[in-house]
Structure 1
Amino acid sequence: MRLGVTMFATDLAMPIDELARAAEERGFDSLWLPEHTHIPVSRRTPPAAGQDELPEEYKRTLDPLVALSFAAAATRRLRVGTGILLAAQRDPIVTAKAIATLDHLSDGRVAVGVGFGWNVEEIENHGVPYARRREVARRNVLAMQALWRDEVASFDGVEPCWSWPKPIGGPPVYIGGAAGPKLFAHVAEYADGWMPIGGAGIKAALPALREACDKAGRPMAEVIPFGTRPTREKLDYFAGLGIQEAVATLPSGPADTVLPILDDYAQLI
């Protein structure tokens, strides 16, 4: 079982290069960073996790690709990933170039977790109607994959073009979100795997994910429980389901808050 970690990287949290080095030294496999481009003050959308108030770190989140470049530069083997990148809110040409550059410079250590987003006003500020966010995210990911893969790439709305560097490692794409036929159809069509938040309900969802993959004529997607609070029993349970990787959540805070928890998690590796 490979174990990674995720934290809201902010201007007040433990510096991301220090966290990356600490994770690699303790044997963790990967480091994942979330994304919010901004948080509109109106707060029309309630917090996705059901909190009374949106936690402060949502307002202060670093750009994940810039922050991950520091993590990659500070390490040698640690995989770095977005968990998650809001694909509907990004220009696919610019984002594909940034991810490919990071993958090239890190010798193929990049993974891309993507999601559709939950904050209505944040999404709408990018000119994307909330009801179309899945459609736009799909189009943008397929466009990025074409730019990464093809010597001459073209996609909806963009004429044939060149874009280098090409990424070394793919990179693999994982889709985050709750189980359901719509999400599993996206996973089966254009992703390498599914990143369920936490881990509850995974066993019950696996048959539907397998059916979607079979229908698409592809191998079973990877499953990476994301943002979990790991215990030995939980990791053994995941392993019994055939899961090979999980990502543990860390608090967004200074080193003296984060490192003791990282040390506790390291006992499970």
Structure 2
Amino acid sequence: MRIATTIFLTDETITPVRLAQELEQRGFAGLYLPEHTHIPVSRETPYPAGGPLPREYGRTLDPFVALAQAAAVTERIGLATGITLIAQHDPIDLAKKAATLDFLSGGRFTLGVGFGWNVEEAADHGVDWSRRLELGRQRLGVMRALWADEPTAYDGTLASVRASDAYPKPVQRPREHPDGPLTGPRTLIGGAASPKLFRRITAYGDGWLPIGGSGLTEAVPQLRRTWEDAGRDPKTLHVVPYAVLPSPGKLTRFADLGIEEVVLQLPPADEGEVLRTLDAYAQYL
């Protein structure tokens, strides 16, 4: 099982360079970074985990800039967003960032996408909350058109792009899909288990990024059935539990479900505390 990590990198934590170097030297598989562009202080949306919103949410580094620094000082570890709030991005600009990062890192990038929980944050980006799921799907469609080997147009009701020259292309090659190849980096979709989410993952994703990993004994077989019923190869499904606080029993359960990659949560802390946590996690490598 590959053991990756995630952390809220901020202006107060360990730096991307130091963390990436330590992860590679210690044998960890990758680094996933979350995203919040800003947190309106007048927000009304409750924090999903309950209680006050942790300080780090309003201080996160831009994940693409931080991952670019990590890519520059490593050769092996995977680099991923966990997650990119896709409805809050211009898809043409996001496609360029993702393709450039994948190209410069030699194909090491994973695009984790999600649809957010903070209504006020999304509203400042002009996002109609009730349409964000469809908006995200169509914006990913624009991105995949730009990643195609030949100039390809995408014409959606909420997002579109003309057939265009757009380079660099991602290093990762297209994957088979019943509706046509999926271009660009491996794309994992976040969200709580539900039939609607599983249909969404099957329609345009490479797999699922479930937070915490609870309930997977029931959910993973359901997702696999949806995947196979849609004509997708079961060997190509990626389920990657995210922000996991590990224990030997938990990781054994994941392995029994056929899960091959897990993302462990690191504290949003200074270098000393983060490195001590990596020392503790070394038993799972």
Normalization by structure 1: what TM-score? 0.97
Quote the residue 1:133 is aligned against.
132
Q: Displacement, 1:233?
A: 1.7
Aligned residue for 2:83, secondary structure, equals strand
Quote the residue 1:4 is aligned against.
4
Write the deviation string for residues 190-225 of structure 1: whole angstroms up to 9, x where unpaired.
111001101110111123212221232112321100
Quote the residue 1:145 is aligned against.
144
Quote the residue 2:48 is aligned against.
48
Quote the residue 2:228 is aligned against.
214
Write the deviation string for residues 140-169 of structure 1: whole angstroms up to 9, x where unpaired.
112212211242021123221111100002
Q: Displacement, 1:88?
A: 0.4
Structure 1 CA distance for aligned equivalents of residues 153 and 96 of structure 2? 15
| Counterpart check, 1:179 vs 2:193 | yes
Identity %: 52
Normalization by structure 2: what TM-score? 0.92
Write the deviation string for residues 82-107 of structure 1: whole angstroms up to 9, x where unpaired.
00000000011111001101111111
Quote the residue 1:98 is aligned against.
97
One-letter amino acid matched to 1:61? T
| Counterpart check, 1:33 vs 2:33 | yes
Listed as ranges, the gaps of 5+ residues in structure 1 are none
One-letter amino acid matched to 1:60? R
Structure 2 CA distance for aligned equivalents of residues 181 and 121 of structure 1? 27
| Counterpart check, 1:237 vs 2:253 | yes
Structure 2 CA distance for aligned equivalents of residues 139 and 13 of structure 1? 35
Matches within 5 A, 1:73-112: 73-112=72-111
Quote the residue 1:253 is aligned against.
269
Quote the residue 2:178 is aligned against.
none
Quote the residue 2:170 is aligned against.
167
Structure 2 CA distance for aligned equivalents of residues 80 and 205 of structure 1? 26
One-letter amino acid matched to 1:118? W
One-letter amino acid matched to 1:49? A
> Once structures 1 and 2 are overlaid, which stretch shifts more, 91-100 or 215-224?
215-224
Structure 2 CA distance for aligned equivalents of residues 205 and 183 of structure 1? 11
Write the deviation string for residues 10-51 of structure 1: whole angstroms up to 9, x where unpaired.
11110011001111111000100000011111121111211x
One-letter amino acid matched to 1:164? Y
Aligned residue for 2:66, secondary structure, equals helix
Structure 1 CA distance for aligned equivalents of residues 144 and 30 of structure 2? 22
Write the deviation string for residues 233-263 of structure 1: whole angstroms up to 9, x where unpaired.
2111111110000000001010111110111
Structure 1 CA distance for aligned equivalents of residues 82 and 197 of structure 2? 16
One-letter amino acid matched to 1:235? L
Structure 2 CA distance for aligned equivalents of residues 113 and 219 of structure 1? 21
Which of 197, 201, 207 is equivalent to 1:193?
207
Paired residues, what number?
A: 268
Verify the 8 A CA contact 2:142 2:161 in the aligned structure 1: no
Structure 1 CA distance for aligned equivalents of residues 230 and 42 of structure 2? 41
Verify the 8 A CA contact 2:24 2:77 in the aligned structure 1: yes
Structure 1 CA distance for aligned equivalents of residues 278 and 141 of structure 2? 35
Structure 2 CA distance for aligned equivalents of residues 267 and 74 of structure 1? 25
Which of 240, 246, 269 is equivalent to 1:224?
240
RMSD, aligned α-carbons: 1.0
Structure 1 CA distance for aligned equivalents of residues 257 and 274 of structure 2? 29
Structure 2 CA distance for aligned equivalents of residues 10 and 46 of structure 1? 22
| Counterpart check, 1:65 vs 2:68 | no
Write the deviation string for residues 168-206 of structure 1: whole angstroms up to 9, x where unpaired.
024100001110011111100111100110111011112
